Amino acid sequence: MQIGILNLVDWYPGAMSQEDRYRQVIEEAVLAEQLGFDTYWIGEHHFSHYICPHPVPLLAAIAARTSRIRIGTGVALGVHHDPIRLAEDYAMLDVVSGGRVDLVLGRGLYLQGYRGFNQDYAESRARQEECARIVRGAWSESPFTYDGQFRHVPGVDLQPRPVQQPHPPLWIGGGRGLDSVLFAANEGFHLALPSVLGPAEAFAPLADAYREGLPASGRDPAAFHVSAGQHTYIGESDAAAEAEFEAHYMAYMRLVANEVRPEVYAGTELEGVAAGVRKSTHSDVYEKMVRTNAKCGSPDAVAERICRLYDAVKMDHYWSYFSLGGISTPKLFACMERFAAQVIPAVRAHAGA
């Protein structure tokens, strides 16, 4: 069981400057390594108050300050990039980090990027699948040739070559439905579930379908990984944690709601998802959300809930999203320290048993 941290670099103008937010991200990763976390993933967004349009510079800064923790994306929006350039960027990151990169590719839920880059979301699945195949091919074959729907590759020798061979771990981020899950199983990619979108136990059937699909495509399920995680806050008691987390969690949900405005999502396949997100900003839903869509409470309570999730999903990578809603650095670090000291040992013991 690997246990890591996800940070989507959400930014709140009144809480801290953008420079301070980037600095907080880097310091969180440095502390995560010191506390024994296994991975640190950063998400990519465009034209929004998530202020990481390309994870590579931040991850390179983290690589320079760390030596052991694996670094990666959660997710990189390959649909918005030339896949060969994406392969170059993350190959270079793999080299400068000493072979510590995991690349998780996803389509994303926010449509601002599609509008800003003049792309049709209806093409996003085909673009995602083609991007994943090209990145893997460019990393593992030289010269690499590909003739696809969106990109023709005329025999390139990608340099630098990744340290990890035959290539760094490649994940598909998805699981609102079966399409992405079955693509990952059929093609032999690891699976990162979007478990912040609901009670994580609801993703158990998708994890099962993924593991059933691997042998059907001639692959050993033991060689592939499933990731899940949720927003997390650890306090001294359940009541204290829920009270301390409310302002940050609801600020985050208001930020998300502002990113999924009705006029942008009307008539798209994500219209229903966006409407559900906007409803979650009402203060009367916090008590339910913080006990289903988040892991919040005392160390014992959070450990027990993650263990229940493990029993349902059998993930072998779990991430916590601690740094959201403008949380201060002292409060963030205290939460991480409680999690590392009391939650990680309990979860690992349960998974090992």
Q: Given a cut of 80, is residue 284 above it in pLDDT? A: no
> Which structure tokens are listed for 69?
């923790």
The pLDDT value recorded for residue 353 is: 74
The pLDDT value recorded for residue 287 is: 83
The pLDDT value recorded for residue 238 is: 95
pLDDT band at 239; cut points 50, 70, 90: very high
Residues for the chain: how many in total?
Answer: 353
Contact, 170 vs 103, CB < 8 A? yes
pLDDT band at 282; cut points 50, 70, 90: confident
Q: Given a cut of 80, is residue 27 above it in pLDDT? A: yes
The pLDDT value recorded for residue 199 is: 79
Q: Given a cut of 80, is residue 197 above it in pLDDT? A: no
What are the pLDDT digits (tens) for 203-222? 999 999 999 999 999 999 99
Share of the chain above pLDDT 90, in %: 88
Q: Given a cut of 90, is residue 289 above it in pLDDT? A: no
Domain of 6, CATH number, reads 3.20.20.30
Select from 184, 19, 24 the least CA-distant residue to 106.
184
152: β partners: 147
What are the pLDDT digits (tens) for 56-111? 999 999 999 999 999 999 999 999 999 999 999 999 999 999 999 999 999 999 99
pLDDT band at 198; cut points 50, 70, 90: confident
Average pLDDT over the chain reads 95
Which domain, by its residues, includes 302?
2-352
191: β partners: 172, 226
The pLDDT value recorded for residue 277 is: 84
Look at the block and give the residue holding tokens 């969106």. Answer: 150
Contact, 184 vs 190, CB < 8 A? yes
Select from 84, 81, 76 the least CA-distant residue to 146.
84
What are the pLDDT digits (tens) for 314-342? 999 999 999 999 999 999 999 999 999 99
Kind and range of the H or E element at 3?
A: strand 2-7
The pLDDT value recorded for residue 269 is: 86
The pLDDT value recorded for residue 276 is: 84
40: β partners: 5, 71
Q: Domain count of the chain?
A: 1
Q: Given a cut of 90, is residue 200 above it in pLDDT? A: no
